Amino acid sequence: MSRLQLRKVMFAIGILVSLSTSPALPAQQFHSAWPKDIQRVWAGPEYWANRLQDWRISNGRLECITSDADRNIHLLTHQLIKQKGSFEMSVRLGRIDTHPKAENCWVGFRIGAKGRFDDYRESAIYGKGINAGITADSKLFINDTVLDADVPSLDDIELRISTRMNGDRYKLVLTVCDPKTGKKYDILTRDQVRVSELIGNLALVCENGRFWFSDWKVSGSKVKVNKDQTFGPILFAQHTLSRGILKMTAQMAPLSKDDSQSVRLQVQEKPKSDWKTIAEAKIDKLSRTAPFRIENWDSSCDIPYRLTYALAEANGKIKDYYWHGTIRRQPIDKKTIVVAGFTGNNDTGFPNNDVVKHVSTHNPDLLVFTGDQIYERVAGYGVQRTPLDAACLDYLRKWYIWGWSYADLMRDRPCVCLPDDHDVYHGNLWGAGGRPAKGQGQKGQDSGGYTMPAEWVKMVERTQTSHLPDPYDPTPIEQGIGVYYCPMNYGGISFAIIEDRKFKSSPTVMLPKANVVNGWAKNPEFNAEKDADVPGAVLLGDRQLKFLRDWADDYSCGAWMKVVLSQTLFANVATLPGRAFGDDIVPTLRITAPGQYPQGDMRVADMDSDGWPQTGRNKAVSEMRRAFAFHLCGDQHLGSTIQYGLDEWNDAGFALCVPAISNIWPRRWFPSEPGKNRKPGSPKYTGDFKDGFGNLVTVYAVSNPVVSGHK
């Protein structure tokens, strides 16, 4: 054999060796692997479940344990992309119910699921796509293409779906097989599938039945892998730094009792040095939070940190997961402290990429979320109030998508988070010192107190406030519900964090003659300015007023300015057409073009604002005035900059009410009579006014809703 022939043979052998040792499946492949000896609600970091409480891992399988409409679980790390190519997906599945109902019951895939914003997170919650699977009465289908399949039972089958190019369109092929022998029971095809239909998320779906899944596989050249799109087990974290004390809360996914029950906080004391564990915190069983409190924190320099959690995975393996961030140095030498304020986080713009992007350009020193981080309707599927653990998971799913939006902003900035009414599943909240409400729904809410169980309320507050500085007076209120009002010093600013819902009286109880429903007097003879300020009506309560008085006198730790943070405004800056007995009409009001001014609007008296009760309002404003404090708040949806008045206009502090992030209740301020003493050229809705309760307010600016031309 010549040397040239030998080289050719060796080259051919090299090719054969290379082919024989290469992976048998494409690099894009995904193969599910759930631990066999762990039972947990959370499916793992690669998945998002709708709803959270409807799914679990058990015996190495994923199970849908709730028989209801459109239960689905999305794969976060693999998406179908625009480029031409192929993909294959398969899953082994079987029924849990002995006799699943045949009507509207099916199990299978959702392919190319996408929402409005071309973001895999939004697609995982609201994405629509091609449904393909098998019904309880053994019909294969791809959308409206249906085939009666010859399948002996649904106890244990394998579903496969794949694509073939057919000119400039695709052909989808759905196959049902025996998973043990590979025998094909039946095949269904669908032609003329557009390229645009095969872009987006991949999901498993269980409709009106209970099924288990295993061996979920995805591969193909049309599949893009995004390993950084996992979510969990450490979902996000919040922290504050005040008076040398760092407090941090790690928000965890719902883990098993057989998983590790603690999270470690580690720091890097010097650049590129080893990570040092400085604390370990247990995970609370309901809130799934791990709180840290570190004294004598060095706030003179940036300190990188990471949260570490060891998660049990398949085959008995343990893998460390990390959440990285930086505790910034105290900005005490900055001339301007930048605070980003948020309120009203509905999910209509989730995941709020535009908000996050534009806020990031300002590089804020502090984030303040003033309330309604979630709404009851967020992420669909309504509200589950019982039993307790399922109700906690119902809230947590909504809370997780809030964190999914703002996690990157929070990882290296201190964050204040104040729960408001919708956070505790109320339309309005009259906390009345923490007592249990008398009943559910509107009637229960208006009776004062909390309609949800105390343990659930405490769970919510742990998720949102356990990272705040220590309470001024930690004495619990009724039902053992805690408090979080406290001082916080950051960047030379002394903040007072107060709770303006928890102690507030119910106007329905305090004003029986007014016939108050949801904060609105229905009695046409009732005059809120003259008759609403009754003895015994509470706003902040004596405990918080004492706190504000002590805080006003405290300028320690280099404080040079005072700011109050609360849920809502101590005035009612809102108008409605004619004499209003409720604001149900707000979503139906015509949004005006820029420069237009609706006629006939009257100032209203919505007791959900902190314009009521007037005496409580005046006491709060008076204590804030002693501190020369600025007030930052939200809740009212309408962005406004005002100055409070007590005995006369302009004799108290300024307040900024931030506009809602996503607003489906566009309140407005268009008083018929122009404001007095307004600046030349200013809109007539600025100037000196009395609000609907007779409180003195000077309006400097309002972000009234206008037709902008944007979606």
Taking 80 as the threshold, does the pLDDT of residue 43 lie above it? yes
- Count Cβ atoms below 10 Å from residue 323 Cβ, excluding itself: 22
**Closest by Cα among 460, 508, 708, 692 to 592:** 708
The Cα–Cα gap between 83 and 81 comes to: 6
Which letter, b or e, does each residue of 229-259 get, where b requires 16 or more Cβ atoms within 10 Å of its Cβ?
Answer: bebbbbbbbbbbbbeebbbbbbbbbbbbeeb
> Is the Cβ–Cβ distance between 356 and 406 less than 8 Å?
yes
The single-letter code of the amino acid at 554 is: D
How many separate helices (H) and strands (E) can be counted in the chain? 10, 38
Mean pLDDT, rounded, for 402-431 = 98
Mind listing the pLDDT tens digit for each residue in 180-231?
999 999 999 999 999 999 999 999 999 999 999 999 999 999 999 999 999 9
String of b and e for 127-150 (b: at least 16 CB within 10 Å)? bebbbbbbbbebbbbbeeeebebe
Q: Do residues 55 and 210 touch, judged by C-beta distance below 8 A?
A: no
Q: Say how far apart CA 189 and CA 163 lie, in whole Å.
A: 10
E strands, 243-330, are 245-252, 262-267, 276-282, 289-294, 303-312, 318-327
The pLDDT of 376-403, averaged and rounded, is: 97
**pLDDT tens digits for range 440-486:** 999 999 999 999 999 999 999 999 999 999 999 999 999 999 999 99
Q: What does each C-alpha distance from 676 to 355, 384, 529, 688 come to in angstroms?
A: 35, 49, 19, 5
Please state, in angstroms and rounded to a whole number, the distance separating the CA atoms of residues 229 and 212: 25
Type of residue found at 53: Q
pLDDT of residue 675: 97
Percentage of the chain beyond pLDDT 90 is: 90
Tens-place pLDDT, residues 65-115? 999 999 999 999 999 999 889 999 999 999 998 765 667 899 999 999 999
Q: Is 7's pLDDT higher than 70?
A: no
| Exposed/middle/buried for residue 330 (C-beta within 10 Å: 0-12, 13-18, 19+) | buried
Mean pLDDT of the chain: 94
pLDDT of residue 99: 62
Q: At residue 13, does pLDDT exceed 70?
A: no
Query: What CA–CA distances, in Å, run from 575 to 31, 654, 667?
Result: 57, 21, 8
pTM of the model: 0.94
H-state helical runs in 32-146: 120-126
* 324: amino acid identity, one letter: H
Distance CA 252, CA 596 (A): 49
For a pLDDT cut of 70, what percent of the chain falls above it? 95
Q: Measured between alpha carbons, how far is 203 from 77 in angstroms, rounded to an integer?
A: 11
